[in-house]
């Protein structure tokens, strides 16, 4: 089992708030890893660590055998070219057409001709079920279509890894299932490694080869998806079954 990335004893603070505390995690190459946990637990920070947008206060982040913790910015830029990022709210530019949005990483990071870019953009959009929308603007598409366009932009360069930030947030159950199928399809066809963060257990079970649970700054469980329902970990048991009673204490404010 090859390892694409390794977070080694990572600590992260935002001011006085400790987001990660001695966190260790392996991301298996060629697999889809889902990181689950409560909203605000710091799951998005793991994605930012993996592409070098956030540096840990201590510990190391190893990607493809390289310690990126002290990597120079120009080398980090090169690393990010090999990593696709699908943002939670897609982050498409409203002033650009869908085709122009998807073409951006190709124009910035390759020397492809305009004709080659147009052909690849069209093929990538077609692969996510968005044929013939290149000339339309994000405001003209539904939320699910915009999400798929964001996925197309994330994978158009055939990256070594794709990071998905809450891919099913804000979608109805049917569209969420469409998105889940699309993530699996994109990852398998491109032959890449993927990390998805979510608190949606339906999504996690559907797409993940492996699941890791983040709680209070640590990974409290990590293993194959098929084993999570048999975990004896009380934090995992409470979270995946959606129970109010358990070791995870929620603060409920009075009205």
The domain that contains 38 carries what CATH number? 3.40.50.300
* Number of domains into which the chain is organized: 2
40, 143: one domain: no
78, 169: one domain: yes
* Helical axes 173-190 vs 114-127, angle rounded to 10°: 130
215-231: pLDDT as tens digits: 989 999 999 999 999 98
pLDDT band at 38 (very low <50, low <70, confident <90, very high): confident
Supply the pLDDT for residue 104: 92
Work out the average pLDDT over 52-65: 94
Beta strand 161-165 pairing with 83-86: parallel
The 8-class DSSP code of residue 44 comes to H
Asked if residue 101 is part of any domain, the answer here is: yes
115, 214: one domain: no
Whether the pTM exceeds 0.85: the reply is yes
* 254, pLDDT greater than 70: no
* 88, pLDDT greater than 90: no
CB 95 within 8 A of CB 174: no
Asked if residue 8 is part of any domain, the answer here is: no
Residue-number span of the structural domain to which 146 is assigned: 89-155
Asked if residue 58 is part of any domain, the answer here is: no
Supply the pLDDT for residue 111: 85
135, 192: one domain: no
* 251, pLDDT greater than 80: no
CB 22 within 8 A of CB 9: yes
Nearest CA among 236, 189, 242 for reference residue 215? 236
92-145: pLDDT as tens digits: 899 999 999 999 999 988 889 999 999 999 999 998 889 889 999 999 998 888
Asked if residue 19 is part of any domain, the answer here is: no
Last residue of one domain, picked from the residues 155, 178, 207: 155
Asked if residue 99 is part of any domain, the answer here is: yes
The CA distance from 254 to 93, in Å, is 40
Asked if residue 10 is part of any domain, the answer here is: no
* 1, pLDDT greater than 80: no
166, 242: one domain: yes
104, 164: one domain: no
140-184: pLDDT as tens digits: 998 888 988 998 999 899 899 999 999 888 888 898 898 899 889
pLDDT band at 248 (very low <50, low <70, confident <90, very high): confident
- Exposed/middle/buried for residue 62 (C-beta within 10 Å: 0-12, 13-18, 19+): middle
* 12, pLDDT greater than 60: yes
177, 241: one domain: yes
């Amino acid at each position: 089992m090859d390892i694409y990335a390794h977070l080694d004893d990572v600590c992260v603070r935002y001011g006085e708030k400790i987001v990660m505390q001695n966190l260790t995690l392996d991301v298996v190459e060629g697999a889809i890893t889902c990181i689950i946990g409560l909203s605000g637990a710091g799951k998005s920070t793991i994605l930012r660590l993996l592409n070098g947008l956030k540096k840990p206060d201590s510990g190391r982040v190893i990607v493809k055998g390289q310690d990126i913790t002290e990597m120079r910015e120009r080398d980090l830029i090169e690393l990010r070219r090999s990593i696709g990022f699908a943002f939670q709210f897609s982050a498409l530019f409203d002033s650009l057409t869908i085709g122009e949005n998807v073409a951006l990483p190709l124009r910035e990071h390759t020397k492809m001709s305009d004709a080659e870019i147009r052909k690849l953009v069209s093929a990538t959009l077609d692969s996510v079920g968005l044929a013939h929308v290149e000339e339309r603007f994000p405001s003209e598409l539904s939320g699910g279509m915009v999400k798929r366009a964001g996925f197309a932009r994330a994978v158009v360069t055939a990256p070594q890894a794709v990071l998905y930030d809450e891919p099913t947030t804000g979608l109805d159950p049917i569209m969420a299932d469409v998105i889940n199928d699309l993530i699996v399809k994109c990852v398998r066809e491109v032959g890449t490694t993927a990390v998805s963060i979510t608190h949606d257990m339906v999504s996690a079970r559907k797409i993940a080869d492996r699941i890791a649970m983040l709680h209070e700054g640590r990974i409290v469980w990590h293993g194959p998806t098929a084993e999570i329902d048999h975990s004896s970990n009380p934090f995992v048991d409470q979270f995946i079954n959606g129970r109010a009673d358990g070791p995870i204490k929620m603060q409920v404010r009075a009205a």
